Amino acid sequence: MFMKKHFKSRQEIANEYGVSTKTLSRWLKKYNLEIGTGLLTPQEQALIYTAFGLPKEPNRLPEDTE
């Protein structure tokens, strides 16, 4: 589901929570999460999911629906 072992962009994480990348950046700053630049590693993703909780429901792209 969310914890696949691959790198993700900030946009992908923001989409999972239904927020903009700007809001995601504010959340990271508010929780003092030390997240590097570039793609997010699985370890960084785990920090985010632990701090914010797992997103309620993933945003699906049109090709994911039947």
The pTM of this model reads 0.76
For residue 4, what pLDDT is reported?
59
Give me the pLDDT at residue 5, please: 79
- Separation CA 66–CA 43 (nearest Å): 32
Mean pLDDT by runs of 10 across the 66 residues of the chain is 78 95 96 93 95 78 45
pLDDT for 53 equals 94
* pLDDT computed for residue 60 by the predictor: 52
Contacts of 16 (CB under 8 A, 6+ apart): 2, 55, 58, 59
The confidence score (pLDDT) of residue 23 equals 96
pLDDT value for 2: 58
Rounded to whole angstroms, the Cα distance separating 37 from 61 reads 26
